[in-house]
């Protein structure tokens, strides 16, 4: 009897199993609903292209020459631009470098080095962007000219600005030209060459078209004529005020009191004017064989109501 009972129990269990698996019987098979797959993650936001200044950069400290000044409190009328403390001292100019990690870093006077990044007001910046800020320091702008688009290989210019370090309502503003320095044995010591280039700068004339004060910019050209064998330099700079109606010429300035010697990687001088104010220029060669040059300058000029001051930078390249 026990054997027959066990047999019947086994048979009943087997029949139930077959029914659950769809085999035999008339019951409906149980199939659990598959678990739905989670939705795919959203695509990552587009990555900004790397900051681009030079076409094929290599890790290095760039040579730089510049000029900067405090330009006063431009937050309230009458928006007077007042250049104070103009300096071109090498120790007081921005330093620019390209790191082994593939980043440009900038050190403004009195600050530490900080990575150059795209300005956060630029949407989806590309490698053609020229408006930057410093990553670890607030309210520091650094705007380049994009000189590589004009055929320059070793030189660039930039305008920079920041709140004054004394935490007043005043602003520091400067111009810097920088590039790959020419080595000591790279400057020709025979022959002559002419360099043609462009300037970038600003004046103490205020523009108030936006209900705020800012210095009127200047543009223009520069020509430098070197006799490498004799160690002499001549040239001139042409300057015009930038405006919405086109440039307004304000003067042509010949070089005087120039300082240059055979084989030197640097030069300096003044402009031919009797006006009072900061009056100087200084420069360095860039490129393996002095193919280009960078410079910084300051010059007083007459315009309408009297004498005014301009400061800026230049880059130029050797003619063929």
Strand partners, 14: none
Whether the upstream peptide bond of residue 166 has omega within 30° of 0, thus cis, is no
Beta carbons within 8 Å of 272's beta carbon, 6+ residues apart: 253, 254, 255, 256
Distance in Å from the first CA to the final CA of the chain: 117
The dihedrals phi and psi of 55, each to the nearest 5 degrees, come to -70, -45
Domain boundaries, the chain: 60-318
CA distance 188 to 265: 10
- Write the pLDDT tens digit of every residue in 38-89: 777 766 555 568 899 999 999 999 999 999 998 877 666 666 778 888 999 9
CA distance 115 to 137: 9
> Within 10 A of 52 (CB to CB), how many other CB atoms are there?
17
Among 270, 280, 273, 268, residue whose Cα is nearest residue 301: 273
**What's the pTM?**
0.83
CA distance 104 to 118: 11
For the record, the structure tokens of 152 come out as: 């320059």
Q: What is the pLDDT confidence band of residue 212, given thresholds at 50, 70 and 90?
A: low
- Write the pLDDT tens digit of every residue in 108-124: 999 999 999 999 999 89
Name the more confident of 60 and 19: 60
pLDDT at res. 74: 64
Does the pLDDT of residue 304 top 50, yes or no? yes
CA distance 283 to 269: 9
DSSP 13: H
Beta carbons within 8 Å of 241's beta carbon, 6+ residues apart: 203, 205, 216, 217, 218, 247, 248, 250, 303
pLDDT at res. 19: 41
DSSP 290: S
pLDDT at res. 79: 65
CB 128 within 8 A of CB 112: no
Q: Which run of H or E residues covers position 10?
A: helix 2-20
53: three-class secondary structure by DSSP:
coil
CA distance 40 to 55: 38
Cα 249 to the center of its chain, rounded Å: 27
| Residue 19 CB-density burial (10 A; 0-12 exposed, 13-18 middle, 19+ buried) | middle
pLDDT average, residue stretch 252-276: 97
Q: Which run of H or E residues covers position 222?
A: strand 214-227
DSSP state string for 23-91: -SSSPPPP-PPPPPPPPPPPPPPPPPPPP-SSSS--SEEPEEEEEEEEEEE-SSTT-----EEEE--GG
Indicate the Cα dihedral angle 214, 115, 181, 268, nearest 10°.
Answer: 30
DSSP 181: B
Beta carbons within 8 Å of 249's beta carbon, 6+ residues apart: 238, 239, 240
For the record, the structure tokens of 8 come out as: 């019947």
CB 313 within 8 A of CB 66: yes
Q: Which of 5-19, 61-75, 179-193, 293-307 is predicted with the least confidence, judged by mean pLDDT?
A: 5-19
Report the helix count and the strand count for the chain, using DSSP H and E. 1, 18
């Amino acid at each position: 009897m026990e054997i027959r009972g066990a047999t019947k129990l086994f048979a009943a269990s087997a029949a139930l199993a077959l029914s659950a698996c769809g085999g035999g019987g008339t019951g409906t098979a149980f199939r659990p609903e598959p678990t739905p797959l989670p939705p795919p993650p959203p695509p990552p936001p587009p990555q900004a292209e790397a900051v681009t200044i030079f076409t094929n950069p290599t890790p290095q400290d760039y040579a730089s020459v510049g000029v900067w000044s405090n330009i006063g409190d431009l937050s309230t009328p009458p928006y007077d631009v007042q250049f104070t403390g103009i300096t071109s001292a090498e120790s007081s100019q921005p330093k620019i470098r390209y790191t082994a990690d593939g980043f440009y870093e900038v050190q403004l006077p009195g600050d530490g080095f900080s990575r150059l990044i795209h300005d956060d007001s630029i949407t989806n910046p590309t490698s053609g962007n020229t408006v930057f800020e410093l990553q670890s320091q607030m309210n520091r702008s650094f705007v380049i000219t994009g000189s590589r688009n004009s055929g320059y290989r070793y030189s660039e210019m930039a305008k920079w600005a920041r709140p004054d370090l004394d935490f007043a309502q005043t602003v520091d503003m400067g111009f810097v030209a920088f590039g790959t320095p020419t080595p000591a044995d790279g400057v020709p010591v025979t022959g002559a060459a002419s360099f043609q280039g462009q300037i970038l700068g600003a004046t103490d004339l205020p523009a108030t078209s936006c209900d705020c004060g800012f210095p009127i910019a200047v543009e223009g050209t520069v020509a430098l004529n070197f006799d490498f064998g004799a160690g002499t330099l001549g040239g001139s700079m042409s300057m015009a005020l930038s405006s919405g109606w086109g440039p307004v010429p304000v003067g042509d300035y010949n070089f005087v009191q120039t300082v240059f010697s055979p084989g030197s990687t640097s030069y300096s001088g003044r402009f031919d004017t009797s006006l009072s104010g900061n009056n100087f220029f200084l420069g360095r060669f860039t490129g393996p064989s002095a193919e280009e040059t960078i410079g910084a300058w300051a010059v007083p000029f007459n315009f309408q109501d009297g004498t005014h001051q301009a400061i800026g930078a230049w880059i130029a390249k050797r003619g063929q």
